[in-house]
Chain A
Amino acid sequence: MNIEIHLRKENIDSDPEVILQFGDVIQTQKIINQEQKLHMQGLEHNCDTKLSVRRDSKELYHTSRNHHDNKIFVDKVIVDDFWEFDNSFYTPTTIFDKEYIDHLDKVGTDQWIKNTVNNTHLFFNGRLNWDIKYPVRRSFFKDVNR
């Protein structure tokens, strides 16, 4: 199975890294262009699996900011060359890293950060998680209630 991730960064001042993970498959990629497509191809998918797009830029912890200067936006995720997830459909779950939470304790947080539960913007260190069920349609079609 293939997964395509359409990303965008806020500015061209830096090339932040993201870590893609699908089950045991992990890829680290730099976001060089303002808009970029990342590909995970030939993935084994025979059980429910988490897809995550993660950011772990430690330099944030050497600043007094509570979010990254250069945000990364996940505009679209295409699963199995067909299903399209975005900020209006099957939005990911936001999970902050413990180090990031500890950092917020030091520098202070904001209400908009506290309110972030389902989100497609990586302004933090942590991950956006999608549950990719097997088969994929089970992720959002509730066949069990048919």
Chain B
Amino acid sequence: MIVYLGMPKCASTWLWEKIKQNFEYNGDKEPHTLVEFGATENNIVDFSTNNWSMDSSTAKKIDKKVSKYILITRDPVELATSYYLQRRLVGESFDDFMSTLVKTKLLCFGDILERWYDLVGKDKILIYDYNKDIEHKQEKFIKDICKKLDLKNYDQTLPLKDKIFQTHHKPVLRCNDELMKILKEQLNKFYQIKQG
């Protein structure tokens, strides 16, 4: 089984569309059953972008079935901007939105990686950075991940660039210094754990 741990807004739909032909599975890309019911929906693949937040008991329960986990991160402010434009509440400021994403851990990449290394070890987790590994290197990325997932092929008809470059016309938003400090600490923690 292949499990996409996260994150949202990191080209998971594009990736799913490229590789889904490899799986004998016709269900939803994101069944969300692991995070809502603590159970797998199938034994083949799960691309729910909130899988990073499943209970530890669920993670330990499914780990035997999982061959690879995929974790794609992205510049947290850019990720939050994309999310904010889609999901903000009426009158909600970017700072308030960011603060919620920090409290609910969605932008705490260091804590997330630490948790998953503790839960399942590091060997099965494939880590990519949207900005460094995907944004302008889609072809290289798709070949690399297919190889690591032991997939025979990917959809060559789906344009590589369409999805990725949609982000170029989005506004540049900034959050306050206190939030930036937390994000920097989390990124430092993430890289230290990844390299360690």
Known: A81-B115, A143-B36, A146-B32. A135 touches B103 (CB 8 A): no
Known: A82-B111, A83-B105. A138 touches B56 (CB 8 A): no
Are A80 and B104 in contact, with the CB atoms below 8 A?
Answer: no
Are B56 and A80 in contact, with the CB atoms below 8 A?
Answer: yes
Interface members, chain A 63-113 (any B CB < 8 Å): 80-83, 88-89
Are B56 and A81 in contact, with the CB atoms below 8 A?
Answer: yes
Are B115 and A135 in contact, with the CB atoms below 8 A?
Answer: no
Binds A, one of B19-27, B47-55, B168-176: B47-55
Q: Name the residue on B nearest A138 (C-beta).
A: B36
Are B57 and A1 in contact, with the CB atoms below 8 A?
Answer: yes
Are A141 and B55 in contact, with the CB atoms below 8 A?
Answer: no
Q: For A121, list chain B residues within 8 Å (CB).
A: none
Select A80's contact among B37, B55, B103, beta carbons within 8 Å.
Answer: B55
A137 to B59 Cα, complex, angstroms: 14
Interface string of A118-142 (1 = CB under 8 A from B): 0000000000000000111110110
A136 to B115 Cα, complex, angstroms: 15
Select B103's contact among A81, A88, A134, beta carbons within 8 Å.
Answer: A88
A146 to B118 Cα, complex, angstroms: 29
> Is B35 on the interface with A (CB-CB < 8 A)?
yes
Are A137 and B56 in contact, with the CB atoms below 8 A?
Answer: no
Number of interface residues of A (CB under 8 A): 18
Interface of A is mostly: loop
Select A135's contact among B54, B104, B105, B118, beta carbons within 8 Å.
Answer: B54
> Is A45 on the interface with B (CB-CB < 8 A)?
yes
Interface string of B49-82 (1 = CB under 8 A from A): 0100111111000000000000000000000000
Are B104 and A141 in contact, with the CB atoms below 8 A?
Answer: yes
A83 to B53 Cα, complex, angstroms: 9
Known: A82-B115, A146-B32. A45 touches B105 (CB 8 A): no
A140 to B53 Cα, complex, angstroms: 12
A146 to B35 Cα, complex, angstroms: 13
- Interface residues, chain B, with chain A CB atoms under 8 Å away: 32, 35-38, 50, 53-58, 103-105, 111, 115, 118
Q: Contacts A82-B56, A82-B111 given; 8 further ones with Cβ under 8 A?
A: A81-B56, A83-B105, A88-B103, A135-B37, A135-B55, A135-B58, A138-B35, A141-B35
Ranked nearest first, the 9 interchain pairs of A and B with the lowest CB-CB distance are A135-B55, A89-B103, A137-B53, A135-B38, A80-B56, A82-B115, A143-B36, A137-B35, A136-B55
